[in-house]
Amino acid sequence: MNPRHLCIDQRLTGMCVYCGREPNARDHVPSLVLLDKPYPDNLPEVDACYECNQSFSDSERYVACLIECALTGTIDPAGVERDKIRQILENNPRLCTRLYKRRRTDEKGNFIWEPEIKPVRTVILKLARGHAAYELGLSLLKEPEEISFAPLAVISDEERAAFELPSSSSVKLWPEVASRTLKRAVNNSLSEGQYGWFTLQPNRYRYLVDQTKGLDIRMVLSEYLACRVVWLDI
């Protein structure tokens, strides 16, 4: 049985999960620029349109390079650790200039970056919509009630604990019978009936889908950037 054909929700057939138009492409969730080779087996894919695929690419490259520059403390391609990001920086001087213009120095002389909010927000919302479609068969074209993101290193211990744990509410809303999330729960890949973190690639990408109150999707990119998107009314 082909896992790519499991759990196909008829509500998503024939539509781009990002804009609702007729799909003519498939999109990885997350984008390959956020992962390293060898890629995970059965990498999640969703229906998309060519226009959305193209429109997100610049923002995804920006976010991937911004995170790597923040982790390594340099914009110099020779100093970054990920080969993929090194190639992007070498071939895209315009992007290097964008990053350089947002670089600052803190009181200790360390480099810090002031991110461009729009591309970061765009990528995070795209990822959340992709996970909602792939995991639960939900098409969420409307704006969420919350989009938040911050480096793990700058949030408090209390905020980190709350982010890492699913809701503690005793009322659990079960996902649909055909959804991948419920299949994982039945197969005991989620602990104690709660929707836990799924590590797609260690130290590169993990995510959590919590349906306790509406839909709460959390992601961690490169064990650096903590992201959260919440729809209260689904």
Q: What is the 3-state secondary structure (H, E, C) of the chain?
A: CCHHHCCCCHHHCCCCCCCCCCCCEEEECCCHHHCCCCCCCCCCEEEECHHHHHHHHHHHHHHHHHHHHHHHCCCCHHHCCCHHHHHHHHHCHHHHHHHHHCEEECCCCCEEECCCHHHHHHHHHHHHHHHHHHHHCCCCCCCCCEEEEEEHHHCCHHHHHHHHCCCCCCCCCCCCCCCHHHHHHHCCCCHHHCCCEEEEECCCEEEEEECCCCEEEEEEECCCEEEEEEECCC
pLDDT higher than threshold 70 for residue 15: yes
List pLDDT tens digits, range 149-186.
999 999 999 999 999 987 654 344 455 544 555 555 44
Of 58-62, 141-145, 169-173, where does mean pLDDT reach its minimum? 169-173
Q: Which residues pair with 37 in a beta bridge?
A: none
How far apart (Å, rounded) are the C-alpha atoms in residues 40 and 188? Answer: 20
pLDDT higher than threshold 90 for residue 187: no
Averaged pLDDT, 118-133: 97
Residue 107 is predicted with a pLDDT of: 87
pTM, two decimals, is 0.85
Residue 190 is predicted with a pLDDT of: 42
Q: What is the mean pLDDT of the chain?
A: 86
What's the CA angle centered on 225, arms 182 and 148, to 5 degrees? 75
Residue 175 is predicted with a pLDDT of: 54
| Per-residue confidence band for 212, with pLDDT thresholds at 50, 70 and 90 | confident
Averaged pLDDT, 131-151: 95
Residue 143 is predicted with a pLDDT of: 97
pLDDT higher than threshold 50 for residue 191: no
Residue 186 is predicted with a pLDDT of: 45
pLDDT higher than threshold 60 for residue 57: yes
List pLDDT tens digits, range 71-108.
999 999 999 999 999 999 999 999 999 999 999 988 88
